[in-house]
Amino acid sequence: MPLSVGGALSTLPARGRFLRALAGLAVLSGSVACNPNAQPKPGELRGILLPDPLPKIDFTLANTAGEPFAFRQQTDGYVTLLFFGFTYCPDICPVHMANLAAVLRKLPLRTANRVKVVMVSVDPDRDTPERLRTWLNAFDPSFVGLRGPIEQVNEIQRALNLPPAIKQQTSEDDYTVGHAAQIIAFTGDNRAHVVYPSGTRQADWAHDLPLLVEADWPAQ
Amino acid sequence: MTWWCFAQGTAWEWTWRPYPGVWLLAALLIGGYVAALRRLRPPGEPIPARRGQIVSFVLGVLALWLAADWPVGPLGAGYLVSVHTGQYLLFALVAPPLLIHGTPAWLLRLLIKPRPAYHTARFLSRPLIAFAIFNVVLLATHLPTLVDRLTVSQLGSFLMDMTWLASGLVFWWQVLGPLPELHPLSYPARILFLILNVFIPTVPAAFLTFADYPLYALYELAPRAVNLSARQDQQLAGLIMKVVGGLIIFGTASVLFFKWHGMEEREEGRM
């Protein structure tokens, strides 16, 4: 009897410590798993992680209403998806825009409202403000369309490590524009940690956008 | 020039393009049919084929040609999953019954005369085997990974189309196969066989109709050919699969039911 009592008494503190440690671990793991502001782990995002995040550059171009749009200032705090394209683009641009619009329509409003899609025209000669607006409205009226001199647009692209747009004559009176196909995703910390190439699917956006919105990237 | 339609990833253009492989297939079928009727008819056969049979066979070849040639072929292979589903119905549910119905019994007997062909026909004439082949092909050829991989090459696209056709021939043989030596099913069993095959297509149809996002990378990322979003196109595909496929099968089951009813009445009248 004494042995059994003694044995029971002697094991209690150890079991208590074990249970306390277990509870602590559970709380810790719970806080990591449930914290919506945690930084996405490598491999968790389906976009391509940049080894060195890109700072959100400061530029001003005209929006489709003809008003100046200060990119850094007017997208501050939003997940901003920046794309360089043109409305005569036959494949990549409309697919990117259609996929983003489809996913934003399905995401919870509080997530969708924290995402801004900005398309900068690489064909300002043909993409008049009206044409650009009509084209973007076909996907989502909230999408921002920007245009400016091609030299300035190319300068912005170079600053983002993107190749400048190249006009390619397809016939005597027609041309197309070769341009970067990826979408750069700036997060709330005003940096881009991830880019989305051509071929990014709706399911990929639906997976990543909530993570990008909720992520808390460490300060620079 | 390409000989069979496949997904090329370029912007869709309403400009006619030739697909010689499709014409060759149609020419071989029609040429082979005409040659067989003219030269292979056994002496005892009064006519090579009934008029209705010839019309049926030609319509079957037309259905194949329509499914594989421009514009349905390239649209289905690389742009619209709804057209791809329409192609499936043409290859598996429309062309095969017309081809089987259009082939005279003496010609079918000739085709299965070689021993291996006869054994293969006997094996494929078992309803459970036919049920399994038809439905496995249906499910497998609608798997996104397979569709995304196969339709990007001419050979892959051709293989998929021919697999649909072959599975359709096996399926419809249970319903329309006229040769007593292959033990055809009774009318009630044929009707039951048809109705049982209505349920499995519901699986891909439901996935297509109710998926939150496009299932096939190929059709999602293809330049838009018409004013339909990738998801609307996919939902339309689900409806086509379920409604049109269901109508074909239930329609045939109804025809069989009335034939059975007529046959029973004639037999009762004789007694």
Ordered by start, the domain boundaries in chain A are 1-34, 48-214
Whether residue A202 and residue B217 make contact (CB cut-off 8 A), yes or no, is no
Give the least confident one: A13-22, A154-163, B136-145, B166-175.
A13-22
Interface test with A, best of B213, B229, B232 (most A CBs within 10 A): B213
Nearest to B221 among A95, A102, A106 (CB): A95
Spatial separation of the C-alpha atoms in residues B184 and B23, rounded to whole Å: 33
Mean pLDDT of A8-12: 37
Average pLDDT over residues A11-38: 46
pLDDT value, residue A145: 98
Q: With an 8 Å Cβ cutoff, is A203 touching chain B?
A: yes
Burial of A150 (0-12, 13-18, 19+ CB in 10 A): middle
Query: A43 in contact with B at a CB cutoff of 8 Å?
Result: no
Nearest Cβ partner of B223 from A91, A203, A206? A91
pLDDT of A6 strictly over 60: no
CA distance A189 to A52: 14
Residue B13 lies in a domain: no
Of all residues in chain A, the one with the smallest CA distance to B13 is A90
The confidence score (pLDDT) of residue A35 equals 53
CATH 3.40.50.12710 corresponds to the domain A48-214:
no
The band of A36, judged by pLDDT with boundaries at 50, 70 and 90, is low
pTM of the model: 0.87
What pLDDT, in 10s, does the model give residues B145-204? 999 999 999 999 999 999 999 999 999 999 998 899 999 999 999 999 999 998 888 999
**Interface residue A107 vs chain B (CB under 8 A):** no
What are the residues facing A195 on neighbouring strands? A48, A184
Residue A21 pLDDT greater than 80, yes or no: no
Helix, strand, or coil (residue B48): coil
Q: Could you tell me if residue B238 is inside a domain?
A: yes
Please check the confidence at residue A93 and state whether its pLDDT lies above 80: yes
Count the Cβ atoms, other than its own, within 10 Å of residue A151.
8
Beta bridge partners of A174: A171
- Would you say residue A215 has pLDDT above 70? yes
Residue B197 included in any domain: yes
The reply to whether residue B213 touches residue A102, judged by beta carbons under 8 angstroms, is yes
**How many domains does the structure of chain B reveal?**
1
Is B3 within a domain? Answer: no
| pLDDT value of residue A71 | 98
pLDDT over threshold 50, residue A22: no
Q: Which ipTM score applies to this complex?
A: 0.86
Which residues does chain B have with pLDDT short of 50?
none
Q: Is B200 in contact with B249 (CB distance < 8 Å)?
A: no
Alpha helices in chain B (DSSP H): 20-39, 51-68, 72-78, 81-89, 95-102, 105-111, 115-124, 127-140, 144-150, 154-176, 187-199, 202-210, 217-220, 230-239, 245-270
Question: Within a domain: residue B2?
Answer: no
Is B212 part of the contact surface with chain A (CB cutoff 8 Å)? yes
CB atoms A102 and B9 under 8 Å: no
Tell me, what's the pLDDT at A31? 40
User: Which residues of chain A neighbour B152 with C-beta distances below 8 Å?
Assistant: none
Give CA–CA dist A83/B152, Å, rounded: 28
Could you tell me if residue B10 is inside a domain? no
Determine the Cα–Cα distance for residues B255 and A104; give it in Å rounded to an integer: 48
Do A118 and A75 form a contact (C-beta atoms < 8 A)?
Answer: yes
The whole domain housing B144 covers: 20-270
Does the pLDDT at position A61 exceed 60?
Answer: yes
Distance CA(A147)–CA(A122), nearest Å, equals: 8
Output the pLDDT for position A42.
66
The answer, yes or no, to whether residue A30 has pLDDT greater than 60, is no
* Spatial distance between the Cα atoms of A193 and A51, rounded to a whole number of angstroms: 8
Question: For position B178, what pLDDT does the model report?
Answer: 86
Read off the pLDDT band of A219 (50, 70, 90).
low
Minimal CA separation from A17 to chain B, in Å? 48
* Among B2, B21, B55, CA closest to B162: B21
Mean pLDDT of A111-138: 98
**In this predicted structure, what is the pLDDT of residue A212?**
97
Rounded Cα distance, B87 and B96, in Å: 13
Contact A103 B213 (CB under 8 A): yes
Phi and psi for B112 in degrees, rounded to 5?
-100, 15
**Contact check, Cβ <8 Å, A102/B212:** no
What is the average pLDDT value for chain A, to the nearest integer? 86
pLDDT of residue A66: 97
